[in-house]
Chains A and B, each alone.
Chain A
C-alpha cells in the first residue's frame, strides 16, 4: 500500500518538476517574477486595484462608445435635413420656373396677337378666358395681368380708346407723369387692378424699369400683395412690339417696349402647398428669405421667431431666374434631436458586461490565488505526512528490532529454564511463556517485515531457486496439521514452469506459507490445493483449464472417471471454479493483459516467466462484508474470527505487499461456506543454464535416479487428484498412466483397450487411491491377483495405497488386503514418495541410496570434498571422537584420532601427511588453543628450514609452506569463541555435534582456498 503511495508521490514529484521547469522558462522571460510565476500570483497583492482600474477603463470606453454613436446620429440627422432642404428648394425652384416660363409664353402670346396683328386679336375677354383656362399651368401665380406702356402724350388717346382714365394704385386718377403702365388685360382673379397704373406702385415701377432694361423676367422684393395681403412677389416680363436685334442696347429695349406682363406670386401659399405635398413636413421648419440686400434679409415665408432646433440649420440657394434678386431657403428641425436611447443603452450594456467580466475575472483570480495557496499548503502537508509515514515505518522497524533482541534473550532463557528440572506446574508456566514469546517474535517479525516494506527497505533477492522444492517444503510444514484435520493438501506445478527461476525464494516461501497457513487454519473439510501455472504461451492459455492440466487424461468418460458435481480435488465445491485464463484476467487489468500479449508474442520465452499461483481451499470463506478489507493489516473478518482461529491478520497484507514488490498482483475470490481462492501473479527471471551450473549450493532437490524409466499406474476416480499424483511421480522420472477405475486398470494390465500397442503393460508400481479402493474392494483384489500373476512372470509390481485420512477399521482392512506397509499418507511430496518407494521396493535399493537420501545436496558435495583426505580428529571425549570420526569417514575421509593435545602436536609436526585437523578446544592438560599454537610454531620452523633447503622431496610436500587447516570443534558457538579460535591460529570452527551443513561450510572454505 505504501509502495503504491510512494509511487504516487514519485509521480507527483515528477509532475511538480515539470511545473517548475515551466516556471523556470517564464523566469527567463520575466526576471522580476518570483518562484511561482503566474500572472495571478505576480499581482496577487493589488487585485482590487486592478479591478478598479478595469472598471474605470471600461467607463471611459463606454462613454466613448456613447459619444461616437451620438455623433453618428447627428451626422445622419444633418444629412436628413440637408436632403430634405435641398429637395424642397429644388422643387420650389422648379415650380417657380415653370410658372415663369408660362408667363413668358403669355408675354409672347400678347406680343404676337396684340401688337403684330392689326387689329389686335386680343381683348380683355379673350385674355381673361385664356388665362383662366390656363391657370392650372401657373399654380403659383394668383393671377396675371398685362399693362400697356403709355407715354404721357398718348394718354388722352388711350383713355379715350378704352373709355376709362388711368388710375393710381390708390384708385385715384393718376396725376400726369412721363409714362404710364395701365393694366389693360387681367385675369379674372385680379380683375380689380384693371386700369391701375402699375408705375404708380413703388415696387412695380422699379420692376417695370428693370424688366424693360434687361428684357428678362424680374421679381420684386416680397411685400404684402394687394387683395390677399399675403406676402408675395410680383413677376414682371416686358413685351416688345418689335423684334429686337441680337444684342439690343438698353435704349433699344426701352424704345421697343410695348407693355409689361405681370403676375403675383403668393409665396406663402405657394410654399405651404408645396411643403404639404412632401413627407416629413412635420419634422422640419422652412424659411424663405430674399437676401438681395444681404445685411437685411427679407422674409418671404415662415416666421422668424418660430423656434425649433436652431442648433442645426441648412441654407439652400434659390434661383428664381432673376439675377438681381437673391433668395435662399433656411431649414431646421422642428424639434430638438431626441436623446439617443440606442447609444445610451449600448454604452450601459457594454459597461455592465465589462463590469461583470471584470468581477468574474477578479473572482477567478482570487479563487486561483486561494486554490494555489491551498495546493501549496497541501503539498507541504503531504510531504510532512509522507515523512511522518516513513518515520513511522522506521520507528516500527527500529522498535521491533530492539524488542526482538531482548525477546531472544527471554526465549533463550526460557529454553534453558525448560531444560532444568521443573515440576509440572512450573514446566507448564514456562512452556506457556515460551509459546507466547514465540508468538510475539513471529508477530514482531511480521510487523518488521511490513515496516520494512513500507519504509522501502525490503530488498528482494534475485537468486536461482527451485519452486517445486520450496512448495514441497511448505507442504511438509503443513502436512501434520492437514493430516490431523483430514483435509487433502496438494501441490500441482504445471509442466511448463521452468525447474529453476530467479527470484527471492525466502519471500516466495513466506507468501505461500501465509496463504497455505491461512487456508489450513480456516478449512475443516475438503482440500487445499496449490496450483502454479505459467502465464505464457498466450494461445494455449486460452484453453488451459483444469482438464487440460491433467493432460494425460484426455477422454475421461472412456477411462471411467466419476462424473462428480464439482471437478475439484476433493469433490467439494470451491469458490473460484473459473479456468486459468479468467483468473488471470481478474488479476491483471486489460492494459496489462495487452502488454502481456505483446510481450509474449515478441519474446515469449526470453527473460521472464510470470507465474500464476493459486491457493484454493474449501474452508469457511470470507464474509462478503469483510472481503474488501482482507488485505488491510490487523483486519480479520471479524473479532470472533481471531478468537476462534487466532492470528493477527497481518500475514495477508504482507503477502500482498511482497507480491506487489515482486511486480505481481494478488487477488482472491471467496464465497462464505464454500471456500476461498487466493491467487497471485509474480514475474521471475529465467535462469540461464550456464549460471545455474556452477552454483555453490545445489538448489534443486535431486531425487534418486533409480526410479527413472519406471512405469506407474495410478487408479483414481478424481482426475485432478490423479494429476497431482502424476505430477509428483513424474518428478521422480516415473512414467505414469492414469485410469479412473479398476475395470479399466485390469483391462490395461491385460493389454486390452489399446493401452499399450499390443505389448503387455506391466507397471512397476500401482498406486490406488483409498476412496477408489474402498468403493470397489473386490475389483482391487482381482487387480492384486493380476499383479501377483505378473510378478511371477516378470518384474515385481508393488501396489501402494494413497490415503488422505484413514480410519482404524480401514487400516485393518488395508492391512489384510496387503497394504500394511505400502501405504502413503498424503500430502504427497516427491521426496516422500521416493522414500516410500525405496522402502517398499526392496532393501537393496535402499542400501544403494542410503548415502544420498537424507540431505542429498550437502552430502554429495561434502563427499566430493572429503574423499581421500586424511584428517586428524582430536578430542579427549571418546564418544565425541568416535562420532566425529564416524561422520567424517562416511564422507570418504581417512581419519586418525588423538585424544590428547600433545599427541596431536606430535602427529602434526612437519613433515606429516594430514590434510586437516579438527580439534576440540576444551581438553585436559593441553587445550585446543595451546595445541594449535604449538603446531603453528613447529610449522613456522619447518617452513624456515625448507627455505634454506629447497630441494625437499617428500610425498606430501606439494604445498608452498606448511599450514595445516585446524578447525575448532566446540559445543558453544559464541562470537568470542570464534574470534578466539581465529586469533589462536585456527582456521575456523565447527559446531558439535556435527551438522552436515555446518561442516560443509567450514570445510568448503579452506579446501577451496587450499587446493591439493
Chain B
C-alpha cells in the first residue's frame, strides 16, 4: 500500500514535470483520454510509431543535408511531416523545434538547418527516454495493482 502510494506520487510528479518542462503538451493529454480498456496500449503504440517515423525522417534530412546542392524543399517537407506527427502526440518541444527548423528552410540557411537537425535529434531522444520512463512507472503501478491518476 505504502509503496504503491509512493509510486503513484512519483509518477504524478514525474508526469507533471514533463508538462512543466513543456516536453509534453495538452495534445498528449488528449491522447491519454483516447486510451481505454478496448485499446489499453494505444499511447505506447502511437509513441513507438512516432519514434520510428521520426527516426526515418531525421535520417532523410541528414542525408539531404549531406548532398551537394541542398534541396531545402525536400527538407521542409520532411520537417513538416515531423511537425505534424509531433503535434499529434503532443511532443511540444519537438514541435517547437520543427517550427524553427521550417523557418530556416524557408530562409535556406544551411547552418540553421544543421543546428536544428541536432536539436531535433536531441529532443527526440530526450522525449523517448522520458516517455520510456513514464511508461515504465505506469507499468509498475499497474502491476502493483494501483490505478493511474487522471491528469487534472
Chain A interface residues toward B at CB < 8 A:
416, 419-421, 820-821, 835, 839, 843, 846-847, 850-851, 853-854, 876-880, 882-884, 886-887, 889-890, 922, 924, 971, 992-996
Instruction: Return chain A residues, CB-CB under 8 Å to B85.
Output: 877-880
Instruction: Return chain A residues, CB-CB under 8 Å to B152.
Output: 835
Instruction: Return chain A residues, CB-CB under 8 Å to B84.
Output: 877, 879-880, 971, 992
* Interface pair B99/A419, CB less than 8 Å apart: yes
Of the candidates A820, A879, A887, A922, which one forms a contact with B49 in the assembled complex, judged by CB atoms under 8 Å apart? Answer: A879
Q: Does B67 lie at the interface of the complex (its beta carbon under 8 Å from any beta carbon of A)?
A: no
Of the candidates B8, B33, B87, B115, which one forms a contact with A854 in the assembled complex, judged by CB atoms under 8 Å apart? Answer: B33
Chain A residue with Cβ nearest B99: A419
A430 to chain B, nearest CB (A): 13
* Interface pair A416/B39, CB less than 8 Å apart: no
Instruction: Return chain B residues, CB-CB under 8 Å to A877.
Output: 53, 81, 84-85, 88
Instruction: Return chain B residues, CB-CB under 8 Å to A420.
Output: 96, 99-100, 103
A868 to chain B, nearest CB (A): 15
Instruction: Return chain A residues, CB-CB under 8 Å to B45.
Output: 882
Instruction: Return chain B residues, CB-CB under 8 Å to A820.
Output: 5, 9
Residues of B in contact (CB 8 Å), total 41
A830 to chain B, nearest CB (A): 15
Q: Does B34 lie at the interface of the complex (its beta carbon under 8 Å from any beta carbon of A)?
A: yes
In the complex with contacts A421-B100, A879-B46, A850-B36 CB distance below 8 A? yes
Q: Does B77 lie at the interface of the complex (its beta carbon under 8 Å from any beta carbon of A)?
A: yes
A-contacting residues, B44-91, CB 8 Å: 45-46, 49-50, 52-53, 77, 80-81, 83-85, 87-90
Instruction: Return chain B residues, CB-CB under 8 Å to A419.
Output: 96, 99-100
In the complex with contacts A851-B36, A878-B53, A416-B99 CB distance below 8 A? yes
Complex Cα distance, B88 from A750, in Å, reads: 55
Q: Does B27 lie at the interface of the complex (its beta carbon under 8 Å from any beta carbon of A)?
A: yes
Could you list 14 further interchain pairs (A-B, Cβ under 8 angstroms) beyond the known A878-B49, A880-B88, A971-B83?
A420-B99, A421-B100, A421-B119, A853-B150, A880-B85, A882-B46, A882-B49, A883-B31, A883-B34, A887-B30, A889-B34, A993-B27, A995-B30, A996-B30
Instruction: Return chain B residues, CB-CB under 8 Å to A992.
Output: 84, 87-88
Q: Does B42 lie at the interface of the complex (its beta carbon under 8 Å from any beta carbon of A)?
A: yes
Of the candidates B52, B87, B116, B150, which one forms a contact with A993 in the assembled complex, judged by CB atoms under 8 Å apart? Answer: B87
* 27 A–B contacts from the bound complex (CB under 8 Å): A419-B100, A420-B100, A420-B103, A421-B116, A421-B119, A820-B5, A839-B149, A839-B150, A847-B37, A850-B36, A876-B81, A877-B84, A877-B88, A879-B49, A879-B50, A879-B89, A880-B85, A884-B88, A886-B31, A890-B33, A890-B34, A890-B39, A992-B84, A993-B27, A993-B90, A994-B30, A996-B30
Complex Cα distance, B36 from A835, in Å, reads: 17
Complex Cα distance, B52 from A843, in Å, reads: 33
A877 to chain B, nearest CB (A): 5
Complex Cα distance, B46 from A993, in Å, reads: 14
Complex Cα distance, B34 from A996, in Å, reads: 11
Instruction: Return chain B residues, CB-CB under 8 Å to A851.
Output: 36
Instruction: Return chain B residues, CB-CB under 8 Å to A924.
Output: 77
* Interface pair B46/A922, CB less than 8 Å apart: no
Chain B residue with Cβ nearest A922: B80
Q: Does B125 lie at the interface of the complex (its beta carbon under 8 Å from any beta carbon of A)?
A: no
B18 to chain A, nearest CB (A): 18
Interface string of B1-45 (1 = CB under 8 A from A): 000010011000000000000000001001101111101001001
Instruction: Return chain A residues, CB-CB under 8 Å to B116.
Output: 421
Instruction: Return chain A residues, CB-CB under 8 Å to B150.
Output: 835, 839, 846, 850, 853
Complex Cα distance, B29 from A853, in Å, reads: 13
* Interface pair B88/A993, CB less than 8 Å apart: yes
Of the candidates B36, B88, B149, which one forms a contact with A883 in the assembled complex, judged by CB atoms under 8 Å apart? Answer: B88
Q: Does B129 lie at the interface of the complex (its beta carbon under 8 Å from any beta carbon of A)?
A: no
Q: Does B147 lie at the interface of the complex (its beta carbon under 8 Å from any beta carbon of A)?
A: yes
Chain B interface residues toward A at CB < 8 A:
5, 8-9, 27, 30-31, 33-37, 39, 42, 45-46, 49-50, 52-53, 77, 80-81, 83-85, 87-90, 96-97, 99-100, 103, 115-116, 119, 147, 149-150, 152
Determine which residue in A821, A843, A886 has the highest number of CB atoms from chain B within 10 A of its CB, and name it: A886
B94 to chain A, nearest CB (A): 11
Complex Cα distance, B90 from A459, in Å, reads: 39
Instruction: Return chain A residues, CB-CB under 8 Å to B80.
Output: 922
Instruction: Return chain A residues, CB-CB under 8 Å to B30.
Output: 887, 993-996
B125 to chain A, nearest CB (A): 17
The secondary structure that dominates the A interface is: helix
Instruction: Return chain A residues, CB-CB under 8 Å to B27.
Output: 993
Q: Which 3 residue pairs of A and B lie closest in terms of their CB atoms, listed nearest first?
A: A879-B85, A843-B147, A420-B100
Complex Cα distance, B80 from A924, in Å, reads: 12
Complex Cα distance, B49 from A419, in Å, reads: 25
Instruction: Return chain B residues, CB-CB under 8 Å to A879.
Output: 46, 49-50, 53, 84-85, 88-89
B36 to chain A, nearest CB (A): 6
In the complex with contacts A854-B33, A878-B49, A846-B88 CB distance below 8 A? no
B37 to chain A, nearest CB (A): 6
Instruction: Return chain A residues, CB-CB under 8 Å to B53.
Output: 877-879
Instruction: Return chain B residues, CB-CB under 8 Å to A995.
Output: 30
Instruction: Return chain B residues, CB-CB under 8 Å to A994.
Output: 30
Instruction: Return chain B residues, CB-CB under 8 Å to A883.
Output: 31, 34, 46, 88-89
Complex Cα distance, B47 from A883, in Å, reads: 10
Instruction: Return chain A residues, CB-CB under 8 Å to B100.
Output: 419-421
Complex Cα distance, B151 from A839, in Å, reads: 11
Complex Cα distance, B150 from A880, in Å, reads: 23
A427 to chain B, nearest CB (A): 12
B101 to chain A, nearest CB (A): 10
B68 to chain A, nearest CB (A): 23
* Interface pair B87/A886, CB less than 8 Å apart: no
* Interface pair B147/A821, CB less than 8 Å apart: no
In the complex with contacts A420-B100, A420-B103, A879-B49, A890-B36 CB distance below 8 A? yes
Determine which residue in A420, A835, A850, A883 has the highest number of CB atoms from chain B within 10 A of its CB, and name it: A883
A812 to chain B, nearest CB (A): 13
* Interface pair B119/A821, CB less than 8 Å apart: no
Chain B residue with Cβ nearest A854: B33
Complex Cα distance, B77 from A994, in Å, reads: 21
A968 to chain B, nearest CB (A): 14
* Interface pair B42/A886, CB less than 8 Å apart: yes
Instruction: Return chain B residues, CB-CB under 8 Å to A993.
Output: 27, 30, 87-88, 90
Chain A residue with Cβ nearest B5: A820
Instruction: Return chain B residues, CB-CB under 8 Å to A889.
Output: 34, 39
Complex Cα distance, B56 from A879, in Å, reads: 13
In the complex with contacts A420-B99, A835-B150, A887-B87 CB distance below 8 A? no
Of the candidates B46, B90, B147, which one forms a contact with A886 in the assembled complex, judged by CB atoms under 8 Å apart? Answer: B46
Instruction: Return chain A residues, CB-CB under 8 Å to B103.
Output: 420
B88 to chain A, nearest CB (A): 4
Complex Cα distance, B8 from A170, in Å, reads: 183
* Interface pair B147/A846, CB less than 8 Å apart: yes
Instruction: Return chain A residues, CB-CB under 8 Å to B34.
Output: 883, 886-887, 889-890
Chain B residue with Cβ nearest A886: B34
Instruction: Return chain B residues, CB-CB under 8 Å to A922.
Output: 80
In the complex with contacts A419-B96, A971-B84, A886-B39 CB distance below 8 A? yes
Instruction: Return chain B residues, CB-CB under 8 Å to A416.
Output: 99
Instruction: Return chain B residues, CB-CB under 8 Å to A971.
Output: 83-84, 87
Chain B residue with Cβ nearest A838: B150
Complex Cα distance, B8 from A843, in Å, reads: 14
Instruction: Return chain B residues, CB-CB under 8 Å to A853.
Output: 150
A1000 to chain B, nearest CB (A): 14
Chain A residue with Cβ nearest B25: A993
Chain A residue with Cβ nearest B149: A839
Complex Cα distance, B125 from A144, in Å, reads: 181
Instruction: Return chain B residues, CB-CB under 8 Å to A835.
Output: 150, 152
B109 to chain A, nearest CB (A): 12
Complex Cα distance, B50 from A876, in Å, reads: 13
A676 to chain B, nearest CB (A): 31
Instruction: Return chain A residues, CB-CB under 8 Å to B149.
Output: 839
Complex Cα distance, B150 from A850, in Å, reads: 9
